[in-house]
Amino acid sequence: MTILDRIIDQKKTELPQLLSTKPVFLSIDKARPSLYETLMSANSLQVISEMKRASPSKGDIATEVDPVEQALQYEEAGAACISVLTERAFFKGSYGDLNAVANAVNIPVLCKDFIIHEVQIDYAKAAGASVVLLIVAALTDVQLKSLHAYATEKQLEVLVEVHDAEELKRALAIGANIIGVNNRNLKTFDVSLSATLEIAQLLPPSPIAFISESGISGPEDAQFVANAGAKGILVGEALMRSGNVKKSLKALQIDITAKVGENR
């Protein structure tokens, strides 16, 4: 059994609880910019910075961090979006973290979880998210299509995550417009930025906002994926562990004007 299978099994055990209670959050209604538009019009590599307390591959990263303080630093440094882990059992996240961050910032907020059911999208939206993640490796084609349609109908943007060529095909088949390649294989935990290179070469010449996720430890890695054609990066651990969050984040916002116009 892979770690992804274990996480999905855990999720299934949590669904009855979500289905039996209505999401109640105090959410400030905000018109946030579109993540897609931000990515497509950017002259610098856009950073989606993550609030990540722990992970199954790294254990505890920063369990005691105040999510609002962290998020405000991200926003001040010019992050394009804030990703908030809401998965509890393996990542120590919560919808409470998401809700607090969403109320504190005005930029797009991504609910980072393993979504397998519509009710999770309802919770993400109620807590204030403007973007949800759908992981191709965790879903059947039927699930992927219906969850994508459901989120879109709820006015949420969708980041569709792939890891290889086969998953990319499935993401393209449902018309995903924001595609992220996870450099970490969720079945083995192996991390390699070459996953970004591989997927970048297979992208069709349509206007897809392409981002590179995981294992980006600093400006050199950012430059590498920008050269491959990424418009944005999703960074967690490196920013959570940084002693100077703003400086670390700004160092990742490298110029990509040479790539603008190449349409990816």
Which single residue brings its beta carbon nearest to ligand IGP? Answer: 236
Task: Name the catalytic one among 75, 157, 161, 167.
Answer: 161
Range in contact with ligand IGP (rule: CB under 6 A) among 36-44, 73-81, 146-154, 234-242: 234-242
Contact status: 216 vs ligand IGP (CB under 6 A): yes
* Site for ligand IGP contains 213 (CB under 6 A): yes
**Alpha-carbon span 90 to 50, nearest angstrom:** 15
The question of whether 161 is a catalytic residue gets the answer yes
Hey, what are 194's tokens?
């070459």
182 part of the active site: yes
CA 42 to chain centre: 18
Binding segment for ligand IGP (CB under 6 A), chosen from 73-81, 149-157, 207-215, 251-259, is 207-215
Please identify which of the residues 99, 185, 214, 248 carries the catalytic annotation. Answer: 214
Is 132 a residue that touches ligand IGP (CB under 6 A)?
Answer: no
Name the token pair of 44. Answer: 């610098």
Report d(CA 85, CA 110) in Å as an integer: 9
When asked if residue 214 is in the footprint of ligand IGP (CB under 6 A), the reply is yes
> Is 214 labeled as catalytic in the residue annotation?
yes
What are the distances in angstroms from CA 249 to CA 82, 143, 260?
Answer: 12, 35, 21
Q: By CB under 6 A, name the one of 234, 245, 249, 256 that touches ligand IGP.
A: 234
CB of 135 to ligand IGP, least distance (A): 6
Number of helices (H) and strands (E), helices first, in the chain?
Answer: 11, 10
Residue from 241, 224, 177 nearest 45 by CA = 224
| Interaction between residue 221 and ligand IGP (CB under 6 A) | no
| Closest CB 112 distance from ligand IGP, rounded Å | 6
152-157: Cβ within 8 A, 24+ apart: 154/121, 154/122, 154/125, 156/121, 156/124, 156/125, 156/129, 156/130, 156/131, 156/132, 157/34, 157/35, 157/36, 157/108, 157/130, 157/131, 157/132
Binding segment for ligand IGP (CB under 6 A), chosen from 165-173, 196-204, 210-218, 241-249, is: 210-218
* Among positions 75, 167, 221, 237, the unique one binding ligand IGP when judged by CB under 6 A: 237
* C-beta neighbour count of 40 within 10 angstroms: 18
- Which of 213, 231, 248, 259 is catalytic? The answer is 213
The three-point CA angle 138-241-75 to 5° equals 80
How many Cβ atoms are within 10 Å of 27's Cβ, its own excluded?
A: 16
Q: 112, 125, 148, 259: which one contacts ligand IGP (CB under 6 A)?
A: 112
Which of residues 46, 182, 196, 248 is near ligand IGP by CB under 6 A? 182
Element holding 224 (H helix, E strand): helix 219-228
Binding site for ligand IGP (CB under 6 A): 50, 52, 112, 135, 161, 182, 213-216, 234-238
**Which residues are catalytic, by number?**
50, 52, 112, 161, 182, 213-214
